[in-house]
Amino acid sequence: MDPLLKKIVEAAGISGYEKEIAAIMFAELKKSCDEVKIDDFGNVIARKGKGKKKIMLAAHMDEIGFMVKHITKEGYLSFIKVGGIDDRILPGQRVVIKGKNGDSLGIIGAKPPHLQSEEDRKRPVKYEDMFIDIGAKDKKDASKRVEVGDIAIFEPNAGILNGRLYYGKAIDNRVGCFALLKIMEKLDVDCEVYAVATGQEEVGLKGARTSAFNIDPDYAIALDTNIAGDTPQVTERESSLKLGEGVGITLIEASGRGVIVNEKMKNLLIDTAKKNKIKYQIAVIEGGMTDGAIIYMNRAGVQTGVLSIPTRYIHSPTSVFSIDDLESAVKLTIKAIEHLAV
């Protein structure tokens, strides 16, 4: 696995607390861009090139996670979720609490099924009834390492599952961030290209709103992940995207509540992929949105496309994707920008 990709995937940065991943994106974008800044909202905004047109690329850098809400007298941590997380996956998961005095490893606990009533066992355990165990003796001991308001992430992990299939924490959307870096490294066009690592996408596409208003681009492309359908119990009707079959070209999100890609941008992306023999898949999405949903409504409207990397087990401690699909996303984005810059 590319060391930079591993570093990005394992970095901490839940919504609103993206400082660690933002610092990495800032340092890497400085290597290839003419100007890089972190705005007041926390977005990392880089600019490269000169020309009449402005093209914005967006990849959100925040991840789902947790925040400490309360410390019990016994030293256990109550928490809230930040972003969309299925409660059913949480019991037994390892997390890392990012305290001011350093990291603390924790395990999410719940009442054992052996001690639950028959009625309790029929219902999924809610996160409000769970806790994080950091091995503390009591509240005083826990408070030496953790405070209310500290953030927590799933335990970092990243690597190669098999061949071209990779796994890791926060694949949504650190693969998009990695693609953003690779695109800016290779790009050489006569226009202004803005690469934005946006914040707080997982809680309302907020960073895309503020950065798009500031940049006011002529065109935009959002880079994100999408739900792969090549696993048991997911039908092709629900998702036909498959790992290794190419970058996803999104036509519509959330049945129209998200971005609806216009005909011009749709045809541009598909024709460019065909012309350059870049593997692609068409994504028609009934649920979920990307930064593109906010960017394309900026000011008087922005022609916006969405390119996605099919991913298994999104919003879980470990997701899986194909490095080939990531590379297809990089190639198609560059070729599309070259066309838009003319």
Active site residues: 201
Angle at 11 between CA 65 and CA 8, to 5 degrees: 125
User: Smallest Cα–Cα separation from 61: which of 166, 169, 185, 201?
Assistant: 201
Amino acid at 160: I
What's 11's DSSP letter? S
323: enclosing H helix or E strand: helix 323-340
Tokens of 292: 């593109």
Tokens of 334: 């560059």
Contacts of 47 (CB under 8 A, 6+ apart): 33, 34, 35, 36, 192, 193, 194, 195
Is the distance from CB of 175 to CB of 321 less than 8 angstroms?
Answer: yes
Helices marked H in 48-170? 118-121, 139-143
User: Smallest Cα–Cα separation from 320: which of 329, 311, 328?
Assistant: 311
DSSP string, 224-280: EEEE---STT--TTT----TTS-EEEEEESGGGTS-B--HHHHHHHHHHHHHTT--E
Rounded Cα gap, residues 313 and 12, in angstroms: 19
What's 14's DSSP letter? B
Count other C-beta atoms under 10 Å from residue 159's C-beta: 11
Is the distance from CB of 309 to CB of 329 less than 8 angstroms?
Answer: yes
